Structure 1
Amino acid sequence: MSETTPKQLLHLVFGGELNDLDGVEFRDLSSLDIIGIYPNYAEALVAWKAAAQKSVDNAAMRYFIVHMHRLLEPESAA
């Protein structure tokens, strides 16, 4: 029997303070908070929740999950 490794579906978790709560333009790109890159959505979601919880007192701070695997292999994102 051969062991198979699940396909990496990379996800980036990052955040920063927004200029406007209705948009996604950041106040200062040099101060973006890069949390990390994760091998699947489940792990990225755990990291996102932890980062978002730490910044709960700052209404302008937002964290995002970017599906990097969709950018790296756009033909398989359909």
Structure 2
Amino acid sequence: MATPIDSDQRLHLVFGGELEDIEGVRFRDLSGLDVVGIFPDYASAQAAWRAKAQATVDSAQTRYFVVHLHRLLEP
């Protein structure tokens, strides 16, 4: 029996790293991925993503992503 996910808890993961090619989403070094953290809502995840993206703006190969973990956890 599936358990419902608490609707107030919408977890988001923010991570990034250097890509092999700017047109793809294949990381150059998986061991070097920067896991920024897991956040309780999209707004805080977006703020963390924006800060990391701004800090790496000079590196065209470096990208950060927001993953909607709550969507993966829903039955």
Report the TM-score when normalising by structure 2: 0.89
Which has the greater radius of gyration? 1
CA distance in 2, matches of 1:70, 1:22: 25
Q: Which runs of no fewer than 5 residues in structure 2 stay unpaired?
A: 1-6
- Runs of 4 or more, structure 1, over 4 Å off, are none
Query: Is 1:26 matched up with 2:27?
Result: yes
State the one-letter code of the partner of 1:57.
Answer: D
Query: Is 1:62 matched up with 2:51?
Result: no
Matched length = 70
Identity of aligned residues (%): 64
Superposition RMSD in Å: 1.4
Q: Which runs of no fewer than 5 residues in structure 1 stay unpaired?
A: 1-5
- Report 1:31-42 matches (<5 A): 31-42=32-43
Residue 9 of structure 1 aligns to a residue in which SS? coil
State the one-letter code of the partner of 2:40.
Answer: P
CA distance in 2, matches of 1:46, 1:15: 14
Aligned to 2:3: none
Report the TM-score when normalising by structure 1: 0.85
